[in-house]
């Protein structure tokens, strides 16, 4: 009706939203989906429209011929003063209504365009669900972390729903907000239901608009807006989880239901400080391995801790802030983190406030494994996380990695039955994510197949390029290793190291190029003291230079670098395994040969 009132003319999105939803906040996504529903029912092709034409970046136009029943057709009924009340007019009106009712009856009877299915919400049962990252409508990039936090919380809440498989947070955050049709997304993630929506923050108010879609047929099932004070954000998340649970006719398991009901207000200033901290944590993480960025990385980590301290000062019971201290430590990475003691005490406090917090148990397990080499303590925390939420793919995957690290041996996870069991559980709970592809050794594909996949999917990701180059070096294929390492170090800003490899390769070939790169790295370390231990230890091991490999491994132990926990399962260390120094190193970090 809104489009018909201006037939043949472009009607802006704003005008449509104001006319059709005058008293309700509705996002552009809802409007787009509504137009899609109309097109499907009318069997209209958007590429060659017979009814509704999309005007890019403006709105829509009704292109079908319109014959007004009376002058001044509008989206509202004519006023009594101008309405034609003659018997013939009344008869024609009632006849038109009767025809419309009859037409609807035929459409419903034959389910034309899926009308009956949509009107009566008749859809196959939803047994699996994905929550697309909610979109922040704010221009402030820091508010994106508020949207991310709500998305994360919703995934956690939905994971408490019995008989419902929920795509993990890890998968969804990597997946992002894809620009693809929902049926395609549902197919890729292997889910029935999709939740999408927006988050809008205005002063101390926050509005979350969400909708539930039956993914395979792009069928809109439910939509609602939740407008609350920021201090009630936990209640908002709980209400949304319960609403959607009701729509898909499942119930929260008793433990999860109780945890969602026992909620308390949150100080809005704590929420703001936490969002600011996440902003700086992300910046620190993104600076890892980049040349001359160590001081900036530390500054970002320090700022993140400052805002986490502020969040807890404003609200001493705000759990996400306590858990996030470990994310700061994880972001520091390159050297022994100065904020490790604070992260340790923060996680202890988080579990004191809520012993059933899975995220805190997983963070503490990683801390104990990587920074304390306390393997038995880490195992206890992983098992407790799984006990609290046996449907957490993230918990099963993390525990599988732990088992591989302790028992992996030379063949990695493939011969570790307990780890395989846990990884299979993670894969079953979250089929969209390749948990076997995350392992140190990726089964089933050759190096060249891996490289082709990398070139197609992430040709400019320096971290993935580094792993690929490492694999070629392990295999003794130094030519390919040098080619890829050169690309990698340029992307990380180490153009001088790329030039070293280029010149050396021209003079003495690829092996000589790697040796010269290592000598340049040693010189840099002597002058700066902050050379990256990972490429140095990896490359020296692949070249068979045991003395220098062990020297850099000693540095890695002192720094608590992440590569140390993979000593028993990463085949980069194969040339060192028969050396007594390797046995001593394993014992030093709490692992047995």
Per residue in 408-451, pLDDT (tens digit) is 743 444 457 888 899 899 888 887 777 776 554 455 678 898 89
Helices (H), 459-494: 462-474, 478-491
In CATH terms, are 4-62 and 268-386+404-410 the same topology? no
| Average pLDDT over every residue of 338-344 | 91
Per residue in 135-164, pLDDT (tens digit) is 888 777 777 878 887 888 788 777 767 678
Pairing of strands 165-166, 135-136: unpaired
Phi/psi at 473 (5° precision): -65, -40
Helices (H), 315-357: 319-332, 340-353
The number of beta carbons lying within 10 Å of the beta carbon of residue 563 is 16
SS3 558: helix
pLDDT score at 584: 96
d(CA 26, CA 140) in angstroms, rounded, equals 20
Per residue in 173-201, pLDDT (tens digit) is 777 666 788 898 888 888 889 998 888 88
- What pTM, to 2 d.p., does this model score? 0.72
Higher per-residue pLDDT: 143 or 210: 210
As assigned by CATH, the class of the 128-261 domain is: alpha beta
Per residue in 443-476, pLDDT (tens digit) is 567 889 889 988 888 889 999 999 999 999 999 9
What CA dihedral angle connects 453, 454, 457 and 460, to 10 degrees?
A: -160
Q: Where are the domains of the chain?
A: 4-62, 87-119, 128-261, 268-386+404-410, 448-588
Maximum average pLDDT range among 102-111, 213-222, 264-273, 376-385: 376-385
268-386+404-410 CATH fold = 1.25.40
d(CA 570, CA 567) in angstroms, rounded, equals 6
CA end-to-end span of the chain: 76
Query: Which CATH number is correct for 4-62, 3.40.50.2000, 3.40.50.620, 3.90.1150.10, 1.10.10.10?
Result: 1.10.10.10
């Amino acid at each position: 009706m809104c489009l018909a009132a201006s037939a043949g003319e472009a009607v802006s999105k704003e005008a449509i939203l104001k006319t059709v939803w005058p008293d309700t906040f509705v996002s552009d996504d809802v409007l787009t989906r509504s137009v899609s529903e109309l097109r499907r029912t009318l069997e209209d092709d958007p590429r060659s429209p017979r009814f509704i034409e999309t005007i890019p970046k403006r709105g829509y136009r009704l292109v079908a011929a319109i014959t007004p029943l009376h002058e001044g057709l509008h989206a509202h009924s004519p006023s009594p003063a101008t309405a034609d009340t003659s018997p013939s007019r009344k008869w024609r009106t009632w006849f038109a209504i009767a025809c419309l009712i009859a037409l609807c009856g035929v459409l419903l009877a034959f389910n034309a365009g899926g009308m009956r299915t949509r009107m009566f919400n008749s859809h196959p049962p939803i047994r699996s669900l994905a929550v697309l990252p909610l979109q922040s409508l704010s221009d402030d990039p820091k508010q994106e972390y508020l949207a991310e936090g709500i998305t994360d919380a919703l995934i956690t809440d939905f994971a408490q729903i019995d008989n419902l498989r929920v795509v993990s947070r890890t998968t969804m955050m990597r997946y992002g907000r894809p620009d693809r049709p929902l049926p395609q997304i549902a197919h890729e993630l292997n889910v029935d239901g999709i939740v999408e929506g927006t988050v809008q923050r205005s002063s101390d108010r926050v509005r979350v608009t969400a909708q539930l879609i039956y993914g395979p047929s792009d069928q809109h099932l439910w939509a609602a807006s939740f407008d609350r004070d920021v201090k009630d954000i936990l209640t908002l998340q709980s209400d949304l989880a319960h609403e959607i649970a009701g729509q898909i006719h499942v119930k929260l398991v008793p433990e999860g239901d109780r945890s969602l009901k026992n909620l308390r207000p949150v100080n809005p200033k704590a929420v703001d400080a936490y969002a600011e901290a996440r902003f700086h944590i992300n910046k620190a993480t993104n600076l890892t391995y980049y040349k001359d960025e160590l001081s900036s990385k530390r500054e970002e980590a320090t700022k993140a801790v400052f805002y986490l301290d502020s969040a807890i000062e404003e609200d001493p019971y705000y759990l996400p802030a306590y858990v996030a201290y470990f994310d700061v430590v994880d972001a520091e990475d390159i050297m022994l983190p100065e904020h490790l003691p604070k992260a340790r005490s923060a996680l202890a406090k988080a579990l004191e406030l809520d012993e059933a917090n899975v995220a805190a148990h997983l963070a503490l397990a990683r801390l104990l494994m990587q920074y304390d080499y306390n393997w038995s303590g880490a195992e206890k925390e992983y098992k407790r996380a799984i006990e609290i939420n046996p449907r957490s793919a993230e918990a099963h995957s993390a525990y599988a990695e732990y088992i591989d690290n302790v028992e992996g041996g030379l063949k990695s996870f493939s011969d570790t039955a307990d780890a395989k069991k846990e990884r299979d559980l993670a894969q079953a709970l979250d089929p969209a994510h390749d948990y076997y592809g995350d392992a140190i050794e990726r089964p089933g594909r050759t190096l060249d197949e891996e490289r082709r996949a990398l070139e197609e999917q992430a040709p400019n990701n320096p971290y993935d390029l580094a792993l690929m180059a490492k694999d070629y070096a392990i295999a003794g294929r130094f030519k390919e290793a040098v080619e890829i390492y050169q690309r990698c170090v340029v992307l990380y800003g180490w153009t001088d190291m790329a030039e070293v490899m280029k010149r050396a390769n021209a003079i003495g070939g690829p092996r000589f190029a790697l040796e010269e790169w290592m000598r340049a790295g040693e010189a840099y370390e002597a002058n700066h003291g902050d050379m990256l231990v990972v490429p140095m230890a990896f490359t020296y091991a692949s070249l068979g230079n045991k003395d220098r490999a062990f020297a850099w491994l000693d540095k890695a132990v002192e720094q608590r670098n992440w590569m140390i926990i993979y000593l028993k399962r990463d085949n980069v260390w194969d040339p060192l395994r028969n050396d007594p120094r390797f046995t001593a190193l394993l014992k030093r970090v709490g692992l047995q040969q």
